[in-house]
Amino acid sequence: MRIRIRNSLATRLFLSAAFWSLFILVIAGVILSTVQQRASERAFDDRLAIYLKSLVADVASPSDADRNDPSHFSEPRFDLPLSGWYWQVTRLDRLPPEIRSSVSLFGGKLPVLSADMTQSGTMREGYVTGPDEQGLRMVEQLIDLGDDGRFLIQIAAPADTIADAVRHFRLTMIITFVLLGLALVITTVFQVRFGLRPLRNLRQEIGAIRTGQTQRIAGTYPDELSPLAQELNLLIDSNEAILERARTQVGNLAHALKTPLSVIVNESEDEDTALANKVREQAALMRDQVNWYLERARVAARVGTLGSVTEIAPVIAGLVRAFKKIYRDRDLDFHVAIPDGLRFRGERQDLEEMAGNLMDNAGKWARSRIHISARLVDDGFVEIIVSDDGEGLPPEARHAVLARGKRLDESKPGSGLGLSIVADLAVLYGGALALDDSPEGGLAARLRIPAIEGSSLGLTNV
Q: What is the pLDDT of residue 295?
A: 66
Q: What is the pLDDT of residue 452?
A: 75
Note the pLDDT tens digit of each residue in 268-303: 777 778 777 787 777 777 777 777 666 666 665 555
Span 205-230, average pLDDT? 78
Residue 65 has pLDDT above 60, yes or no: no
Q: What is the pLDDT of residue 68?
A: 55
Q: Return the CATH number of 310-461, one of 3.40.47.10, 3.30.565.10, 3.90.1170.50, 2.60.40.10.
A: 3.30.565.10
Note the pLDDT tens digit of each residue in 78-123: 888 888 899 998 888 888 888 888 888 888 888 988 777 666 778 8
Q: What is residue 136's three-state secondary structure?
A: strand
Q: What would the DSSP string read from start to end of 253-287?
A: HHHHHHHHHHHHHHHHHT--SHHHHHHHHHHHHHH
Residue 457 has pLDDT above 60, yes or no: no
Residue 244 has pLDDT above 80, yes or no: no
Q: What percent of the chain has pLDDT over 90?
A: 16
Q: What is the pLDDT of residue 405?
A: 46
Residue 23 has pLDDT above 80, yes or no: yes
Give the CATH architecture of domain 1-209.
2-Layer Sandwich (3.30)
Note the pLDDT tens digit of each residue in 426-439: 888 888 998 888 88
Span 24-46, average pLDDT? 91
Q: What is the CA radius of gyration of the chain?
A: 49
Residue 410 has pLDDT above 50, yes or no: no
Going by C-beta distance under 8 Å and a sequence separation of 6 or more, which residues neighbour residue 123?
A: 49, 52, 139, 140, 141
Single-letter amino acid, residue 403: A
CA distance 165 to 168: 5
Identify whether the C-beta of residue 55 lies closer than 8 Å to the C-beta of residue 124.
no
